[in-house]
């Protein structure tokens, strides 16, 4: 039976992935060095396509890391002397905060209950804070921060660096990079690729901060420092041997997305999200965890289940639909459904039809 991965990442592979992979292998891209002109052209092409897709201005550089998780560590090491402030709306923003503790910074956190969003009018960030850490889309709780709230936040604290984790919302969320100093994502979510590549978008202000910290004699790490990324980026190279094939394929999938047009992709995404939330609102077996529509993620839909969700997930798997469980302690009381470009409206409708049929068996 065919299997469809409605998992929140790693997720269903994007339909064009295999074709790009075959081309990459035919072109011997697995054998080329990262100091060759072939590699530089790949890096350049991928960043050009990402700039179009995500509307990234020239003020921001684009770096490649093996994962987004690593970027949590790198941005804290490179831009924070002491103080980071973490808006925690789920398990991943919490881990970002814990990275700051492990790195012996003095982070502060503002957290909300699982499934709640932020009321930014009530959040006061200390003046001495250096980096504001936000998770625009929380893969654990399905809570999203509206992009307009991030803009207001930066306007309120213009002297602080603002970063946002868009791991499971890129390229759907329309980030305004004039107000975001840094963001990052990984390819195994909405880009429909296997894991092994993270993308780090960084502006000059972050680099300047890293240079300041270096000049002060701070330990900013040895591997993948911002300076080493910037230096290599001037020639479209990477500081260490990268996952070349993934960088190539990301560029080709971004190109595919650009051919469809990001506005069209976002329209389809909104329409599919509506299908999912309507289904949950109308079906008494599920309740959307996030009750405030402004805070509902469009790309990761988290639903409470009345009964042990593992039984439902097993039954769905029998029908070929692999769906994510709840995260951590919510494993058996919730399910998480991604709404990524890998699935069409028809496939989303099929999933919903199958879920309805499954719960109506009771």
Using rule CB under 8 A, residue 70 touches its own copies:
yes
Using rule CB under 8 A, residue 29 touches its own copies:
yes
Please give the structure tokens belonging to residue 243.
């996952």
Identified binder of its own copies from the candidate list 116, 123, 196, 283, rule CB under 8 A? 196
Identified binder of its own copies from the candidate list 16, 40, 52, 69, rule CB under 8 A? 69
Using rule CB under 8 A, residue 28 touches its own copies:
yes
Q: Torsions phi, psi of 108, nearest 5? A: -115, 155
Check if the beta carbon of residue 13 is closer than 8 Å to that of residue 192.
yes
Check if the beta carbon of residue 324 is closer than 8 Å to that of residue 335.
yes
Using rule CB under 8 A, residue 322 touches its own copies:
yes
Sheet of strand 182-186, all strands in order from the earlier edge strand to the far edge: 60-65, 198-203, 182-186, 161-165, 131-135, 84-88, 108-111
- How many residues contact its own copies, by CB under 8 A? 53
**Interface segment toward its own copies; rule CB under 8 A; list 177-185, 192-200, 291-299, 306-314:** 192-200
Using rule CB under 8 A, residue 229 touches its own copies:
no
267 in helix, strand or coil?
helix
Identified binder of its own copies from the candidate list 186, 268, 299, 305, rule CB under 8 A? 186
- Give whichever of 117 and 251 is closer to its own copies, judged by the CB atom: 251
- Listing DSSP states for 318-362 in one string gives HTTEEEEE-SGGGTTTEEEEE--TTS-HHHHHHHHHHHHHHHHT-
Identified binder of its own copies from the candidate list 67, 258, 319, 347, rule CB under 8 A? 67
Using rule CB under 8 A, residue 78 touches its own copies:
no
Q: How far apart are the first and last CA of the chain?
A: 24
Task: Give least dist CB 59 to its own copies, A.
Answer: 27
Using rule CB under 8 A, residue 30 touches its own copies:
yes
154 in helix, strand or coil?
helix
- Give whichever of 139 and 203 is closer to its own copies, judged by the CB atom: 139
- Give whichever of 55 and 219 is closer to its own copies, judged by the CB atom: 219
Task: Give least dist CB 75 to its own copies, A.
Answer: 11
Using rule CB under 8 A, residue 235 touches its own copies:
no
Identified binder of its own copies from the candidate list 72, 279, 321, 340, rule CB under 8 A? 72
Which among 262, 253, 244 has a CA at the least distance from the CA of 192? Answer: 253
Using rule CB under 8 A, residue 246 touches its own copies:
yes
Sign (positive or negative) of CA dihedral 304, 302, 295, 85: positive
Which among 299, 90, 53, 36 has a CA at the least distance from the CA of 190? Answer: 299
Sheet of strand 286-288, all strands in order from the earlier edge strand to the far edge: 4-6, 321-325, 334-338, 300-305, 286-288
Using rule CB under 8 A, residue 15 touches its own copies:
no
Q: How many CB atoms lie within 10 A of CB 189?
A: 28
Using rule CB under 8 A, residue 316 touches its own copies:
no
Using rule CB under 8 A, residue 194 touches its own copies:
yes
- Contact residues: its own copies, CB under 8 A: 3, 5, 7, 9-13, 17-18, 21, 25, 28-34, 66-67, 69-70, 72-73, 76, 98-100, 102-104, 186, 188, 193-196, 219, 221-225, 240-246, 322, 324
């Amino acid at each position: 039976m065919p299997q469809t991965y409605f998992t929140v990442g790693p997720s269903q592979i994007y339909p064009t992935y295999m074709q790009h992979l075959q081309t990459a292998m035919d072109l011997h891209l697995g054998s080329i060095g990262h100091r060759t002109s072939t590699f530089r052209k790949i890096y350049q092409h991928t960043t050009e396509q990402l700039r179009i897709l995500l509307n990234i201005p020239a003020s921001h550089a684009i770096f490649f890391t093996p994962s987004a998780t690593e970027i949590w560590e790198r941005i804290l090491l490179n831009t924070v002397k002491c103080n980071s402030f973490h808006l925690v709306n789920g398990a991943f923003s919490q881990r970002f905060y814990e990275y700051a503790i492990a790195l012996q910074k003095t982070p502060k956190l503002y957290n909300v209950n699982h499934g709640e969003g932020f009321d930014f009018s009530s959040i006061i960030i200390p003046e001495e804070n250096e980096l504001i850490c936000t998770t625009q889309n929380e893969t654990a709780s399905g809570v999203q921060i509206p992009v307009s709230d991030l803009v207001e936040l930066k306007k309120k604290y213009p002297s602080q660096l603002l970063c946002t984790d868009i791991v499971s919302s890129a390229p759907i969320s329309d980030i305004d990079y004039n107000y975001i100093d840094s963001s990052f994502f990984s390819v195994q979510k909405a880009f429909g690729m296997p894991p092994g590549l993270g993308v780090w978008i960084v502006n000059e202000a972050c680099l300047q901060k890293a240079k300041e910290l270096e000049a002060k004699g701070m330990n900013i790490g040895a591997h993948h420092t911002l300076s080493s990324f910037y230096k290599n980026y001037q020639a479209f190279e990477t500081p260490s041997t990268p996952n070349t094939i993934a960088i190539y394929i990301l560029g080709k999938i971004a190109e595919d997305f650009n051919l469809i047009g990001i506005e069209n992709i976002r329209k389809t995404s909104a329409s599919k999200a509506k299908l999912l939330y309507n289904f949950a609102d109308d079906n008494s077996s599920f309740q959307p965890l996030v009750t405030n529509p402004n805070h509902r993620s469009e790309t990761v839909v988290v639903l409470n289940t009345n009964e042990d969700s593992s039984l439902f997930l097993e039954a769905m798997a029998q029908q070929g639909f692999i769906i994510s469980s709840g995260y951590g302690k919510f494993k058996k009381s919730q399910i998480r459904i991604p709404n990524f470009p890998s699935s069409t409206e028809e496939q989303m409708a099929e999933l919903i039809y199958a879920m309805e049929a499954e719960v109506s068996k009771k």
